[in-house]
Structure 1
């Protein structure tokens, strides 16, 4: 039985064929021919059958989510259990040694391939959770299997900007296949008062759509052969954290400031229709920005800005009178929550309803290793390439105010 996504794709294609038949007859200002009527009835029956399949598949998907877990292999593992056993370091070692995957990682790749299709770049599929932090193993909770003077658990990492955008409440659509169009209300029926004998003006509803199309983000890094071959539990954490941060930082930046060019998704700042303002410098300015949203029937959920802007607002009193309080606190601007990070665009503060942002994710993370390319090969290194496919869309652009220096 095809999965839910495949059924919906086939149904959309059938609907498009039926519309094309009707559109051709309408453009030629005639009724359907006998052959066209026969084709339309056949497509209509196909759509009805696909709708019934969709209902059954949706029911099973919902039942799977409500259940404790569906067994997906002969060992009795559920997807969640298999996900916990799959290891990023096993995937890298298989690529380094030029061998096929084995164990949980092989079973996970097969399951992800069944769900999302074959990897587009010939790599190995790993679940998104492989890039999420788990409880860290240290030398007090797991045996240190390399020389004791190598302390992976004490690795000193770089100072990195906080990635906070996805914590603001953006909506994530995962497991996508193909382009996605989400219907959107345009304009509605209008009303009018008339006098006796006067005619009503004709009006109608219009609809638009919000589209999500695949955009590919990747990272190419050189990792030493020794690091991959080390068996210390901390090595897995170090490699995972570095690769996941690189991809997460790119996605975070795209949600806010993706330009829609050079392969990037279009983020909030570059979405046509977002509201603009100057960065607030007084309590009155903060209220004015909030009113811009409330005037558009939007209830804002929070601010996103730089640490410099947040700090500057924390120094400004609401009023010159004693005990008036400050415009901002450590995690608030005005009466609303705020998230501040050096990853935010400079001299910018964005207020909005962050649930209006959609982040689409196609499939899983694809990992490709290359131990032969120079200059990494010459010095015993391995190139590791990670690909993720995402897109960003804003459901209602007027649900955001981008406040920047020079803004209106």
Structure 2
């Protein structure tokens, strides 16, 4: 979709460039404009003034259309969409596209081999973005893609999204930008999420250097402050899910949410599981396998004690690492155990109380793996973990393989990676038992 105002602005820019060329030529030759050049410049001035008027009119009309569209454009749930009067006309148009995009409609049209309307428009934008990133989003009649700006909102929070992350399975209005990649529990700990990446991303770490004590007039020996760090490169994650034709043909909010939730849950699990224990081959290298993290002195299975909590905190502190977002991560089983272990004999306090472990934030997840029957406990500065995502996601619809079962198969591809910038900012005990 190319707005008329943009086309008019391109014409105006072309005229301004012509005027600049004429002016530069006269300056280079150290002369005044020729009569022909002066007449051409005057004519161009008139055209530019006329274009300015047309652009102003076009922008008013487009803004009016967007305001009306915000009242009439609907997603699957026919929800009302209010506009932000402080947004630019470009942002309002993007928001309008997001609101009108229907994931289930895109699935139906891709299954039939033809995208139309806003779904085709979104797909074209995603393919253009993927091509600029050299991602392998191969376009076929039965595929569609969504761009990175529709993968994740920039203002999501647990309490600020009408409960979509707080436990509500079905939101009252579906917007892909809010739903495809949900908030990660790693973000609750302080990990960074970067979306819309282009190329490889280097994470520089400034290695410390020491000051020397010198005599009053002794010369200083210069030292290089070395910057080095890991590089975040995209890895491909993919999955397939079977969806019944009857479900796909529905157009209610509940069904749209159900379909999207199948993919958003898969994306969330893939990213978080790899971030914790990825093997570093096809998967990202997970935190538990990163060389250089601090390891507990405990090397045999044992029940948790307060001393184990203090040990991990001490390891990170002694490593002179940063302390921006310190916190603990464990699985749910160990969390339950920690809630029942007394801190000492007399205080009546327990190791884990009100989400705090050793006075620090604690998060539990079933995605933290058991290691040989033991339950790892991780502590560290989670701002040193970065989750990166390149481009959007591509969906390919197979309406034939499961046709006899009245279903389609949908495959999704996305590109992401996880990296630890400063391994010594983390410590882990891999031998705690339940």
What is the TM-score normalised by the length of structure 1?
Answer: 0.68
Alignment partners' CA distance in 1, 2:380 and 2:309: 13
Whether the 8 Å contact between 2:332 and 2:365 is mirrored in structure 1 is: yes
What are the equivalent positions in structure 2 for 1:282-361 lying under 5 Å apart? 282-297=305-320, 298-299=322-323, 301-321=326-346, 323-346=347-370, 347-361=375-389
Q: CA 1:220/1:202 → structure 2, altered by over 3 Å: closer, same or farther?
A: same
What is the TM-score normalised by the length of structure 2?
Answer: 0.65
Q: Cα offset for 1:184?
A: 2.3
Tell me the SS of whatever aligns to 2:417. strand
Q: Cα offset for 1:116?
A: 4.3
Counterpart of 1:91 (choices 86, 94, 106) is 106
- Residues 63-82 of structure 1, C-alpha deviations (whole Å, 9 max, x = no match): xxx9943444xxx9422232
Q: Cα offset for 1:107?
A: 2.6
- Residues 369-395 of structure 1, C-alpha deviations (whole Å, 9 max, x = no match): 1112x3x13323211011111011111
Alignment partners' CA distance in 1, 2:92 and 2:222: 61
Alignment partners' CA distance in 2, 1:348 and 1:210: 25
Q: Cα offset for 1:286?
A: 1.4
Counterpart of 1:272 (choices 279, 288, 291) is 291
Alignment partners' CA distance in 1, 2:256 and 2:276: 30
Q: Cα offset for 1:337?
A: 1.2
Name 2:3's counterpart in structure 1: none
Where do 5+ consecutive residues of structure 2 fail to align? 1-83, 154-160, 174-182
Name 2:235's counterpart in structure 1: 215
Alignment partners' CA distance in 2, 1:80 and 1:204: 48
Alignment partners' CA distance in 1, 2:315 and 2:328: 14
Alignment partners' CA distance in 2, 1:285 and 1:359: 28
Tell me the SS of whatever aligns to 2:195. strand
Q: Cα offset for 1:111?
A: 3.3
Alignment partners' CA distance in 1, 2:120 and 2:169: 24
Alignment partners' CA distance in 1, 2:425 and 2:215: 38
Q: CA 1:137/1:282 → structure 2, altered by over 3 Å: closer, same or farther?
A: closer
| 1:240 pairs with 2:240 | no
Q: Cα offset for 1:295?
A: 1.8
Whether the 8 Å contact between 1:166 and 1:252 is mirrored in structure 2 is: no
CA RMSD of aligned residues (A): 3.2
Q: How many residues align?
A: 312
What are the equivalent positions in structure 2 for 1:367-386 lying under 5 Å apart? 367-372=395-400, 374=401, 376-386=402-412
The structure that has the greater radius of gyration is: 2
Whether the 8 Å contact between 1:258 and 1:266 is mirrored in structure 2 is: yes
Alignment partners' CA distance in 2, 1:292 and 1:338: 17
Name 1:12's counterpart in structure 2: none
- Residues 21-53 of structure 1, C-alpha deviations (whole Å, 9 max, x = no match): xxxxxxxxxxxxxxxxxxxxxxxxxxxxxxxxx
Alignment partners' CA distance in 2, 1:80 and 1:136: 23
Alignment partners' CA distance in 2, 1:275 and 1:85: 49
| 1:107 pairs with 2:132 | no
Name 2:199's counterpart in structure 1: 178
Alignment partners' CA distance in 2, 1:67 and 1:356: 37
Alignment partners' CA distance in 1, 2:340 and 2:286: 30
Q: CA 1:318/1:181 → structure 2, altered by over 3 Å: closer, same or farther?
A: same
Q: Cα offset for 1:177?
A: 1.9
Alignment partners' CA distance in 2, 1:290 and 1:381: 52
